[in-house]
Amino acid sequence: MTYDLYVVTDEELSNGHSHAEIAKLAVEGGADVIQLRDKRMSAADLFAEAEKIRAITKDKALFIVNDRIDIALASKADGIHLGQSDLPVKAVRRLVPDDFIIGISVGSVEEAVKGVLDGADYVAVSPVFSTGSKPDAGEGRGLACISAVRKAVPKEIPVVGIGGINSGNISEVIAAGLDGICVISAVVSAPDIKKAAGDLREKIRNIKNE
């Protein structure tokens, strides 16, 4: 299981694609992880997209649901992504099977260490750079935060990063310590989602093999 290329869906930032269409094209391009993220859909509509994405990702990619443990469990997703203002990791850990993946957004070493102690399976430095894709994300934490978090958490815990990452800065974020990169616009807003995912994944693999 790898977190090399982690694609977060966003219908509003795509050129007319549904979450499931984005997921299908990204998986065809080689995405390792798909996160369903939508702050506006009804539970019924979100569940319908989640079921489609579960089928698309089966045996091909991990499927993570943002924020919503009800949708994640009901759709048999592989895991959930939680932020600092979402349900606490400890509370969700009590609800889910042992192999269920819990990811946590972190903006500091302290949040990363606490997240792992509470039971998170991966940490996401968030946001790495400032981004227009999440207006309330705040200021970028920068490369120093990546390096500090990577040093502070056990090597078995993947450290990914999100926010303003694209083909032009992958090298530096991986050099700083990221195990995988999470993107919205670099894939979802591209004219050819499959090609954008494929190009990014190839670049990540090449950098890691250098």
Ligand X SMILES: Cc1ncsc1CCOP(=O)(O)O
Ligand Y SMILES: Cc1ncc(COP(=O)(O)OP(=O)(O)O)c(N)n1
Residues tagged in the binding site annotation for Mg(2+): 67, 86
User: Nearest approach, Cβ of 12 to ligand Y (angstroms)?
Assistant: 13
Distances in Å between the Cα of 86 and the Cα atoms of 81, 92, 158 are: 9, 10, 20
- 133 is a site residue for ligand X (CB under 6 A): yes
Q: Is 105 a catalytic residue?
A: yes
Residues 144-203 that bind Mg ion (CB under 5 A): none
Where does residue 91 fall: left (phi above 0), alpha (psi -120 to 50 degrees), or beta otherwise? alpha
Q: Which of 14, 24, 37, 68 is catalytic?
A: 37
Give the DSSP letter of residue 134: S
Q: Is 134 a catalytic residue?
A: yes
- 11 is a site residue for ligand Y (CB under 6 A): no
The region of 47-55, 81-89, 148-156, 196-204 touching ligand Y under the rule CB under 6 A is 81-89
Distances in Å between the Cα of 191 and the Cα atoms of 25, 29, 31, 186 are: 11, 13, 17, 10
- 8 is a site residue for ligand Y (CB under 6 A): yes
- 9 is a site residue for ligand Y (CB under 6 A): no
Closer Cβ to Mg ion, 83 or 177, answer by number: 83
- 185 is a site residue for ligand X (CB under 6 A): yes
Pick one of 28, 51, 70, 86: the residue that binds Mg ion (CB under 5 A): 86
> HSE-up of 167 (CA within 13 Å, CB side)?
13
**How far, in Å, CA of 195 to CA of 199, rounded?**
6
- 131 binds, options ligand Y, Mg ion, ligand X, none, Cβ within 5 to 8 A by partner type: ligand X
Q: Which amino acid is at 47?
A: F
63, 179, 99, 85 alpha-carbon torsion, rounded to 10°: -70
Backbone φ and ψ for 177, nearest 5 degrees, come out as 135, 0
Residues annotated as catalytic are 37, 105, 134
Interacting residue ranges for ligand Y, rule: CB under 6 A:
6, 8, 35, 37, 66-67, 81, 83, 86, 103, 105, 124, 126, 134, 160, 162, 182
